[in-house]
Amino acid sequence: MKNFLRAIPPFSYLAFLLFAGHYLWAPYHSYVLLHSYLDDLLCPAIVLGPALALGRTVVPGDPQWGLPRSWGLWFVLWYSMLFEGLLPLFDARHYADPWDILAYGLGTFLFYLWANRKPASAVSPLYKS
């Protein structure tokens, strides 16, 4: 379990903290961007972060393993279809918003940029000084 927690990228820790603190945001609901799109921006880190940690510790046992880019693309497509396509058809409280899809894409891009990198110990010996 200790290795699993160590393998979760720091970006995911921030996402989990912000997600857990969602109920503390009541005074900030007047900020439309924060209220409407922050969850969608952090969703990739919340979903893909533990998948990355699981892959690095359990599946191949390789601490340098990273999620393939195709997984990020499938994540954006799946969440877009599910939450922006199907859910609004069955629940009147939700509506399809193309900006949410953009937030999923941007969040996935930031996850791959910051969290899906190889750990510092995985740098090739050729590049060590």
Across the range 112-120, mean pLDDT stands at 77
How confident is residue 73, by pLDDT bands cut at 50, 70 and 90?
A: very high
Q: Angle 93-95-99 (CA atoms, 0-180°, nearest 5)? A: 135
pLDDT value at residue 11? 61
Query: Does 122 have pLDDT greater than 60?
Result: no
How confident is residue 1, by pLDDT bands cut at 50, 70 and 90?
A: low
66 compared with 75, residue with greater pLDDT: 75
Measured CA to CA, the distance from residue 100 to residue 123 in angstroms comes to 35
Give 121: exposed, middle or buried? Use CB within 10 Å, 0-12, 13-18, 19+: exposed
Q: For the segment 88-105, what is each residue's pLDDT rounded down to a tens digit?
A: 999 888 888 889 999 999
Query: Does 13 have pLDDT greater than 70?
Result: no
Check: CB of residue 106 under 8 Å from CB of residue 63.
no
List the domain boundaries for the chain: 2-21+29-117
Measured CA to CA, the distance from residue 5 to residue 50 in angstroms comes to 9
Q: For the segment 37-58, what is each residue's pLDDT rounded down to a tens digit?
A: 878 888 888 888 888 888 877 7
Predicted model pTM: 0.73
Measured CA to CA, the distance from residue 61 to residue 57 in angstroms comes to 5
How confident is residue 128, by pLDDT bands cut at 50, 70 and 90?
A: very low
Check: CB of residue 66 under 8 Å from CB of residue 118.
yes
DSSP 67-124: --HHHHHHHHHHHIIIIIIIHHHH-TT----HHHHHHHHHHHHHIIIIISSPPGGGS-
